[in-house]
């Protein structure tokens, strides 16, 4: 188990009295739970309705996943490696649709895990209307929503 150490007191010259506080590093499941507590997630049907009304639907699946499983018509494809830079309104490499911090961004991944982390990352950037799709593309497809092959 990994621990995060932080100095809480004592004198640094006396290594016996130098006090450290150790706290366990969070697991990915704990980080995911924290991210999901910050967002109001959408069902695929809710996401489709919001997308039809102008919300940005951002697909972060890999090109291999999109080739194999299909694409969502009208969704913006943004690779996860450049995701924050493309959606941060203050970034010089942002996409034109990322015009302000109020834009509604709905993130979709394959199964709804990495999209929760990505949506929380957008909240950290001040995009107050970021969210994701419960169950990801698998749930979108299972709901019979549009997919282009």
Stretch(es) of the chain classified as CATH 3.40.250.10? 39-142
Residue-wise pLDDT tens digits, 37-73: 999 999 999 999 999 999 999 999 999 999 999 999 9
Q: Which comes out higher in pLDDT, residue 20 or 117?
A: 117
What pLDDT is attached to residue 23?
81
* Distances in whole angstroms, Cα of residue 66 to Cα of each of 62, 63, 131, 146: 6, 5, 21, 13
pLDDT band at 22 (very low <50, low <70, confident <90, very high): confident
CATH fold of 39-142 reads Oxidized Rhodanese; domain 1 (3.40.250)
Query: 126 near 137, Cβ under 8 Å?
Result: no
Instruction: Using alpha carbons, select from 70, 71, 72, 67 the residue that is nearest to residue 55.
Output: 72
Percent of the chain with pLDDT over 90: 84
Query: 147 near 70, Cβ under 8 Å?
Result: yes
Both tokens of residue 42?
């959408």
* Distances in whole angstroms, Cα of residue 99 to Cα of each of 25, 30, 106: 36, 32, 15
pLDDT band at 21 (very low <50, low <70, confident <90, very high): confident
- Entry pTM: 0.86
Q: Three-state SS for 98?
A: coil
What pLDDT is attached to residue 39?
98
Integer Cα distance of 46 and 39 in angstroms = 14
Residue-wise pLDDT tens digits, 87-125: 999 999 999 999 999 999 999 999 999 999 999 999 999
């Amino acid at each position: 188990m990994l621990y995060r150490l932080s100095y809480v007191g004592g004198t640094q010259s006396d290594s016996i009295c130098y006090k450290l506080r150790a706290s366990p590093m969070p697991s990915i499941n704990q980080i995911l739970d924290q991210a999901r507590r910050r967002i109001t997630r959408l069902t695929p049907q809710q996401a489709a309705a919001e997308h039809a009304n102008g919300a940005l639907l951002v697909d972060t699946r890999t090109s291999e996943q999109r080739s194999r499983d299909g694409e969502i018509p009208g969704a913006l494809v943004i690779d996860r490696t450049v995701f924050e830079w493309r959606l941060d309104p203050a970034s010089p490499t942002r996409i034109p649709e990322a015009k302000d911090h109020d834009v509604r961004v709905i993130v979709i991944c394959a199964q709804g895990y990495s999209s929760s982390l990505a949506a929380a990352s957008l909240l950290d950037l001040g995009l107050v209307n970021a969210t994701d799709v419960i169950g990801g593309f698998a749930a979108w497809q299972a709901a019979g929503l549009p997919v282009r092959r």
